[in-house]
Structure 1
Amino acid sequence: MEESKMGSEGTFRAILAILQWWGFNVTVIIMNKWIFQKLDFKFPLTVSCVHFICSSIGAYVVIKVLKLKPLIEVDPEDRWRRIFPMSFVFCINIVLGNVSLRYIPVSFMQTIKSFTPATTVVLQWLVWRKYFEWRIWASLVPIVGGILLTSITELSFNLFGFCAALFGCLATSTKTILAESLLHGYKFDSINTVYYMAPFATMILAVPAVLLEGNGVTNWFYTYDSVFSSLFIIFSSGVLAFCLNFSIFYVIHSTTAVTFNVAGNLKVAVAILVSWLIFRNPISGMNAIGCTVTLVGCTFYGYVRHLLSQQSSSSSSVPGTPRTPRTPRTPRSPAEMIPLVSDKLEKV
């Protein structure tokens, strides 16, 4: 009876974690699109910079003030040698996501971002010469096919936005691979990752944002009527972007890797539906089919990765079983299969 009660509490906690993750993620995506489209604030670098500032302050409050998470100490040398490169890629990742949101609908952008598993596998194969079983390559077929079908049939196609989203996938994959190698030895959680990376990202982005968008932002202040309410929305999106990181940490520790993968793909479907209800961007039937195929492929990919991870852990426990060397280090638990900064934040 006690075990059944604990099991129901665990299930309720996992559902609650997933729902709050969905809520934060979908809200941030919709708010960012609203900022670019409805508020006519067409400055993705500035929006990204605001998000990094809010995330820096939020992580500091959580760790230093509220002490909800212990600080993971990092050597000063490692901060520049190991964390700074991660922060640079993290910065590019967020900026490309916001740039793509300015030019293409949320539905199309979310579908393209689902291409990340394929770019991760290809990069690890090309750069690190990492071996993957045929089942991994087979699971990428519906992802690639769905992306191609969606891109061909997209009624609001924009080449610049498409390229930004596609290169954002490459940045996400690079960030994930670097996390496995550069942060080896540091058991970072999402909040500590943001605590160290967001200030670096703010520093990297501040100068380009001022130089490239400073005049435009100044003119927007003088020409836009409801400045204060608009600024409230912009900074609220930054606060919610940080809350999204916190919710990701909660989800990872409340669910399994398979549940996280399935919930992530369902979240994309929810984001697409909500964005369509708000912005009413045209979606053709073939476009919807392509999006569905992509999401099913992502779910299948996560399931295959989970199966191979279980097989690898069971074979390594048998004495005398040869182990295939892997570079970078293969995740040792389902939680480690998740990027240190989730790929959903990139869609911020």
Structure 2
Amino acid sequence: MPFCFLVLKVFPYPINITTVQFAVGTTISLFMWATGILKRPKISGAQLLAILPLAIVHTMGNLFTNMSLGKVAVSFTHTIKAMEPFFSVLLSAMFLGELPTPWVVLSLLPIVGGVALASISEASFNWAGFLSAMASNVTFQSRNVLSKKLMLKKEASLDNINLFSIITVMSFFLLAPVTLLTEGVKVTPTYLQSAGLNLQQVYTRSLIAAFCFHAYQQVSYMILARVSPVTHSVGNCVKRVVVIVTSVLFFKTPVSPINSIGTAIALAGVFLYSQLKRLQPKPKAA
């Protein structure tokens, strides 16, 4: 995440950066299939059609995150993304019929309030960065809900790692033409040198960011297959704390007392939400 932020500050083309991330992820996936490290799945046309909506929201989620990172501080982007449980509850109720308990709904109030408090006191605040991070919440939680519906079908030939790999490849082919039609290809040596950028530095940081991005999301899918969604949510809460604190220290981001309080309230709300979800009765199997 820090490397991606550093690149976006000198190279403000989030669509190009996101396409590079998917290109690296696609290369890794194809290498794993070609070498047999990962068993190549037998995928039908019907399965690809079912995965397409996942790939679309996955593409949009990562693009919106990079757009936000290019506009505001890393710590602020992740403070806004602490609102993921709010959208998770909303979308799960709409598409999966999972109605939350009143206590779970009440636990969302400190999350929303904390993010609002942090937003009004954020030095780097701008609407483009804020709305991009919020859009990332919506698209990523849509991906999770759609993934859950697909996983419930228990397709024997498609495990979670292969599912993520296929989503990554599809995302690359979805975003590549968008890049050509909007920003154009800006990652060529000729363009970077004409912009006065350090070629080796931009490429090195971009590739490290892309590799870390793919590895993190793949590991996240692997963990999700082994633990409950609640445990996964608690882990995400801890991740937010680590990312926010380290980014503030690494980038020396100025943080006001009110901003710190708002961030702390939001993260405490996420943890409370996770614990209350653990206590929520599981729906009986039909």
TM-score, with structure 1 as normaliser? 0.74
- What 5-or-longer segments of structure 2 have no aligned partner? none
What is the DSSP-based 3-state SS (H/G/I as helix, E as strand, rest coil) of the residue aligned with 2:99? Answer: coil
For 2:34 and 2:207, the matched residues in 1 are separated by: 22
Deviation at 1:305, TM superposition (A): 1.5
User: Judging changes above 3 Å, is the alpha-carbon distance between structure 1 residues 111 and 190 closer, same or farther for their aligned structure 2 residues?
Assistant: farther
| 1:234-253 alpha-carbon deviations (Å, 9 max, x no partner) | 12221222222343255446
Tell me what 1:103 maps to. Answer: 71
Tell me what 2:51 maps to. Answer: 83
CA contact (8 A) 1:82 1:183 kept: no
For 1:253 and 1:76, the matched residues in 2 are separated by: 24
Matches within 5 A, 1:317-336: none
Tell me what 2:132 maps to. Answer: 164
For 2:92 and 2:197, the matched residues in 1 are separated by: 49
For 1:249 and 1:143, the matched residues in 2 are separated by: 25
Tell me what 2:206 maps to. Answer: 234
CA contact (8 A) 1:190 1:248 kept: no
For 1:289 and 1:30, the matched residues in 2 are separated by: 23
- Identity %, equivalent residues: 23
Q: Cα RMSD (Å) of the superposition?
A: 2.3
User: Judging changes above 3 Å, is the alpha-carbon distance between structure 1 residues 258 and 170 closer, same or farther for their aligned structure 2 residues?
Assistant: closer
Find 1:276's aligned residue among 240, 244, 248. Answer: 248
> Is 1:121 matched up with 2:89?
yes
For 2:130 and 2:197, the matched residues in 1 are separated by: 31
User: Judging changes above 3 Å, is the alpha-carbon distance between structure 1 residues 111 and 84 closer, same or farther for their aligned structure 2 residues?
Assistant: same
Number of aligned residue pairs: 282
Deviation at 1:259, TM superposition (A): 4.8
CA contact (8 A) 2:161 2:222 kept: no
| 1:204-249 alpha-carbon deviations (Å, 9 max, x no partner) | 1111212222265564342224213321221222122222234325
Corresponding letter in the other structure for 1:42? P
Corresponding letter in the other structure for 1:206? A
CA contact (8 A) 2:164 2:218 kept: no
> Is 1:62 matched up with 2:32?
yes
| 1:19-76 alpha-carbon deviations (Å, 9 max, x no partner) | xxxxxxxxxx111101112xx1111111111111111121233344142x44443312
User: Judging changes above 3 Å, is the alpha-carbon distance between structure 1 residues 216 and 249 closer, same or farther for their aligned structure 2 residues?
Assistant: closer
CA contact (8 A) 1:189 1:249 kept: no
For 1:159 and 1:30, the matched residues in 2 are separated by: 22
What is the DSSP-based 3-state SS (H/G/I as helix, E as strand, rest coil) of the residue aligned with 2:70? Answer: helix
Deviation at 1:198, TM superposition (A): 1.2
For 1:120 and 1:285, the matched residues in 2 are separated by: 29
What is the DSSP-based 3-state SS (H/G/I as helix, E as strand, rest coil) of the residue aligned with 2:282? Answer: helix
Matches within 5 A, 1:73-222: 73-79=42-48, 81-126=49-94, 130-186=98-154, 189-214=159-184, 217=187, 219-222=191-194
Matches within 5 A, 1:240-251: 240-249=212-221, 251=223
For 1:128 and 1:262, the matched residues in 2 are separated by: 21
Tell me what 1:301 maps to. Answer: 273
- What 5-or-longer segments of structure 1 have no aligned partner? 1-28, 317-322, 326-348
TM-score, with structure 2 as normaliser? 0.89
| 1:250-289 alpha-carbon deviations (Å, 9 max, x no partner) | 5446766555433322221121122112222211111111
User: Judging changes above 3 Å, is the alpha-carbon distance between structure 1 residues 250 and 178 closer, same or farther for their aligned structure 2 residues?
Assistant: closer
